[in-house]
Every structure is written in C-alpha cells, then in structure tokens.
Amino acid sequence: MKNLTIYELYGLRLRIFENAGSLCREAQLLLDHGYYARAYLLAHLAVEELGKIPIVASVIRAIRDGTVVDWKATQERFRNHQSKVYSDHLHSCVFGIYDPRWLEDPRAMSTFHVDLKNDTLIPAGRRSFFRPKE
C-alpha cells in the first residue's frame, strides 16, 4: 500500500465492506450448521476487516488536510490483528455500539478477542485438541 489516491482509498473502503459482509454471511452458514468455532473465526475476521475502515478514513483525512501519510505505518496497522480489532472497537464505541467492558482496558480487550480467535485454530503446544464442531 503506497501513495493511494483518495479515489482508490474509497474503492478500498467499499471492498472492505463487501468482504466483511461476505464473511458475516459465511459465518452465519457455519453457525446454522453447528460449526461454532469456525463461525466465530469468520465473524472475528469480519471485525478485523471492519477495523480497517477507520484506518482508511484517517488516511483520507490526512490526504485532504495535506498531511504527509506514513504509508509504512498504515500498512503495519492493516496487518496487525490487535490494531484492527482495537480500531473496530473504538469505531463501535464512538457510534454507541460497544461492550462497556471495552472501556475499562481497550488494549486488553483487543488482545482478548485476538487470543479467542487464535484459540479457534489448533495451536502448537497444546496437549488437548478440539474438532471445529466442539
């Protein structure tokens, strides 16, 4: 991601919304068929996608204001799971759709949600493992 125009960033934002919507619909299908861990994983990925929206919006604003955009830092935020979850939770808080516990320690809640997502996969170092339907 380097030197995108405002027009390209608006296009990116639309693609992010489309992808998040698709992930939610697929999560619902899995949930309806009892695949709870995988449904949670896809729902979490949708949250991470939506967490990119405020990142894109801040870049658009910076460009409009004539501020130099740190594209490398923006790319790092796009790839960092906790950053995207934090961004989505902050966005939800601004619009009044949030879990009040998040306000107590936003970074810890973001870490909790990323860890929960990671626990839906089969991590190395565990002594017991679960199937996706468990």
pLDDT digits (tens, 9 = 90+) for 54-95: 889 889 999 999 999 999 988 888 887 677 676 666 656 555
Distance CA 58, CA 42 (A): 26
Distance CA 48, CA 42 (A): 10
Distance CA 35, CA 76 (A): 32
Domain boundaries, the chain: 6-118
Q: Three-state SS for 51?
A: coil
Number of helical (H) and strand (E) elements in the chain, helices listed first: 7, 0
The model scores a pTM over 0.85: no
Summarize the confidence of residues 104-130 as an average pLDDT.
60
Specify the pLDDT at position 44: 81
Q: Is the pLDDT of residue 43 over 80?
A: yes
Q: Between vectors from CA 84 to CA 80 and to CA 88, what angle results, nearest 5°? A: 170
Summarize the confidence of residues 102-127 as an average pLDDT.
61
